[in-house]
Amino acid sequence: MIWVVRQFVTHQTLGFGGERVRFPIRVELEFQQEGPHVCAESLQKKVLYNKSFLLKRYIGLSERDLDLLVGEGVRKGIQGHLGIPEEAE
């Protein structure tokens, strides 16, 4: 069993008030891997994006809604990056 650290950038699109903005999200994953299998219990992630700018720019946007949107984008990015099918969640 080995520990693996992977970094990647995914993007999320925010539609707000007739405007659409696509912003990058940097994700760092750390997990244990045994052969081709990822140990799901060991998965840790760090997510970085310019949250303060988005909340200032889009005043009516709540922090909770932004967190949910980013969380969904990160989940899809992790699935694509690790090759995890959607049915596995």
**pLDDT for 4-47, tens place per residue?**
899 999 999 998 778 899 999 999 999 898 888 888 888 899 99
Round to whole Å and give the CA distance between 64 and 58. 13
Q: By three-state DSSP, how is residue 24 classified?
A: strand
Q: And the tokens for 54?
A: 């988005």
The number of domains in the chain is 1
0.75 cut: is pTM over it?
A: yes
Higher per-residue pLDDT: 70 or 35: 70
The pLDDT score that the predictor gives to residue 11 is 93
DSSP state, residue 18: T
**Residue 40: domain span:** 2-88
